[in-house]
Amino acid sequence: MDYKDIKDYKLASKDFIENEKQFHLGVIPTEQSNVLTRNLSATIAKDTAAGVAMILSADVKNTYEGKHVDIPTVAARAFKSKEFARLVDDCKRVIDENKRVVISSVGASGRMAIQLDAAWRYFWTNLANKIPAKREQFMYNANRVESFTTGGDRALVRSVENFEDYMTFGAEQVREAGIGVGDVLLGLSECGLSASINGSVIEADIRGCTTYYLFCNPKNILCEHLERVRKVFARPNIIKMPLFVGNMAVSGSTRMQVTTVELLVAGAAFELACQKWCDENLTEAEKEVAGIVALDINEYAKQFKAINKQLSSGKALKGLAAAVELEKSIYDNHGLVTYCTHDYLLDIMTDTTERQPTFTLPPFRKFNDKNAELSWAYVKDPLYPNEVAWQHVFRRPIKGLNWTKEDYIRLEAAPDIIANMPKVGSEEVEQYNIGNCDDESRYSRKPNVLVCMDINGSATPEVLAWFKEEVKKFEKGVLIRMGEISKGKKYENEILIPVKLTRTSNELMTHLMVKLAFNVLSTATMAKMGRVWSNWMIQVLPTNKKLIDRSTRIIANIAGIPYEQANLEFFKSAYERSSKDEYRESYVVETLKRLGKDPKEDIK
């Protein structure tokens, strides 16, 4: 939080109540409780599988004001729109005209931007190996898409506090990207709440970019209550794409349904653009080698629904529940989980880093830092050393922010940011060692488990050889096999999550499957541990003003007190806690306990 420059908690609360009304977001549907999951904490405490299925139901059963707003319905509607058709054409056009598509977002959607970028690059670089004669063209195509997230690439591994509160920061990153007329900016706005993304799309429009704004709340509510959103809608050249999918499975956790629909819609646009280019530029023999580039446009929503259905029932549901119970058993005893995967490292990393702000968990720890708390979950690449592993995560050079004190002053940052400039340069990322070197910290305390991910057979003999050697240092090893699973066992201790899906150029359906599974795995584990009350994420870490408001509303709802009183009580907890106890529990839980509430009590 950037409120510590105000010395008294009562004055800090007064300032937030009176001067930050644009962050009072209780009227926003995605910040409200979802009726489908209202009994999540009570249900999952009794039956893990039932709780997992309840979380997944929000993807395909959400309604709002009597209308279906589930992900398949909303995505299918978007696919039929003229805005989507133009987006596909623009993504293909940038190849023909030597221009770029730049994806901009923040937080969970920012990590999604990096994933879309990497998936696009992976297809073209992989095609270069299959069809060597056109290698130069394919490598050129790979560089037509770029991404940035608020706070730079370091935000992938650890949230950058308060950056999303500034429109000026998003605008500055657009200027640094050097884009202009003919280029495309795709703004993934989560829910229209993050000021930095609104700043980036407005700056892109000013610079003459073809600018898209994907937003995930009703336009009328956003425009009525948020000035920063009104500024976006006031610009007629910005192409708006509504993707409202109702309330989140866990209140306010936009890493769930919001980022899922963004991945589905934007990912489909990228695949269809790849298909258009291949149809025009490859021979029939080359097309055969390229394989299935994209689905029929009418199939994307149907296949997503089919994946959700499979994860919600039968063997896949049983496997997900087993994975939840495995993690819970480790964390209940203050243990550590380490995932290893090569092909899907970015997918798993995205979920594990998002757990920090969502559930007030310790973030990833730098490799040479021996004092900070260890993250409960971590990821390792079994094939490559750290430097090369990071190259494979981004599939492009790492992009940090090298802003000076003068830059922060010019961008009107808060005094706390100016006085304590965050370390977000490109060199910061590689200090988190995700490579295949030995990391004693991951088995430094018991219990511990090394989990190898086998997604559509991605656990190759080389991956399994590293896993079987490395697991000797751990108390336990588990192989989680997900997606298309071949017959026979690869390891003595397996969890199976079988899902049938179609594999395409950017592996969109596979990425969606992994996203759904891991969002459920982490959320269900935290709910089963009592870190979710009803469907409120009571362990939220307030790294920005949006999350201060969310913390306040949770306190107000559970304690049954006015918003203003809840905010005062929140700041009291925040100001009176020692910094060394930051990850002890959330300010929300501490406040509720002080007010005589028990987050584990039955829902009235």
Task: Report the C-alpha gap between 285 and 287 in whole angstroms.
Answer: 5
Per the CB < 8 A criterion, the answer to whether 238 and 67 are in contact is no
* Identity of residue 350: T
Within 8 A by CB and 6+ apart from 67, the residues are none
Indicate the DSSP class of residue 430.
G
Kindly give the pairing relationship between strand 101-105 and strand 210-215.
unpaired
Residue 600 has a pLDDT of 58
Tokens of 467: 């896993």
Q: Distance between CA 523 and CA 539 in Å, rounded? A: 11
* Amino acid of residue 67: K
User: Helix crossing, 299-311 with 314-331: angle to 10°?
Assistant: 60
Task: Indicate the helix (H) or strand (E) that contains 497.
Answer: strand 494-498
CA 185 remoteness from chain centre: 19
Nearest Cα residue to 317 out of 517, 514, 42: 517
Asked whether the beta carbons of 131 and 290 are under 8 A apart, the reply is: yes
Spatial distance between the Cα atoms of 542 and 588, rounded to a whole number of angstroms:
10
Strand 101-105 relative to strand 63-64, pairing: unpaired
Q: How many CB atoms lie within 10 A of CB 334?
A: 10
Q: Quote the CA–CA distance of 202 and 77 in Å, as a whole number.
A: 26
Contact 102, 186 (CB under 8 A): yes
Q: Which residue has the tokens 């209940």?
A: 332
Nearest to 193 by CA among 106, 64, 267, 70: 106
Distance CA 221, CA 242 (A): 13
CA–CA gap between residue 416 and residue 179 (Å, rounded): 31
3-state secondary structure at position 443: helix
Please choose, from the candidates 518, 537, 534, the residue with its C-alpha nearest in 3D space to the C-alpha of residue 31.
537
Closest C-alpha to 74, from 249, 252, 241, 309: 241
Domains for the chain: give ranges and CATH numbers.
Answer: 9-33+536-594 (no CATH), 39-54+308-350+361-528 (3.40.50), 67-300 (3.40.50.10490)
How many CB atoms within 10 Å of residue 279? 12
Token digits of residue 387: 């430097």
* pLDDT digits 0-9 by tens, 232-268: 999 999 999 999 999 999 987 888 999 999 999 999 9
Given this model, what pLDDT does residue 545 score? 84
Give which of 176, 168, 170 is closest to 188, Cα–Cα.
170
Q: What is the pLDDT of residue 577?
A: 82
CA atoms within 13 A on the CB side of 557: 22
Decide the pairing of beta strands 63-64 and 67-68: antiparallel
Q: What does the alpha-carbon distance between residue 344 and residue 480 come to, in Å, rounded to a whole number?
A: 13
- 575 is written with which tokens? 């100001």
Q: Retrieve residue 19's tokens.
A: 């001067």
CA–CA gap between residue 371 and residue 527 (Å, rounded): 28
CA distance 187 to 382: 34
Expressed in angstroms, the distance from the first to the final Cα of the chain is 33
**Which stretches within 189-292 are classed as H helix?**
195-206, 219-225, 227-233, 257-281, 284-290
Reduced to 3 DSSP states, what percent helix, strand and coil does the chain have, rounded to the nearest 5?
Answer: 55, 10, 35
What are residue 453's phi and psi, to 5 degrees?
-95, 125
Assess whether the previous peptide bond of 447 is cis (omega < 30° from 0): yes
- Report which DSSP code applies to 492: S
- CA 516/CA 272 separation, integer angstroms: 22
* Phi, psi angle pair for 402, to nearest 5°: -110, 50
- The β-bridge partners of 185 are 102, 211
Reduce the secondary structure of 330-360 to three states and give it as a string.
HHCCCCEEEEECCCCHHHHHHHHHHHHHHHC
Name the stretches of the chain with pLDDT < 50. none
- Report the C-alpha gap between 453 and 474 in whole angstroms: 16
Alpha-carbon distance of 379 to 110, in angstroms, equals: 19
In one letter, which amino acid is 358? T
Is-contact 54 279, C-beta < 8 A? no
| pLDDT tens track for 551-565 | 998 899 888 899 999
According to the model, what pLDDT value does residue 3 have? 57
Q: What is the pLDDT of residue 175?
A: 97
Q: Are 543 and 163 in contact (CB under 8 A)?
A: no
Residue among 35, 26, 25, 39 at smallest CA distance from 65: 35
**b (16+ CB within 10 A) / e for 212-227:** bbbbbbbeeebbebbe
What does the alpha-carbon distance between residue 54 and residue 223 come to, in Å, rounded to a whole number?
A: 32
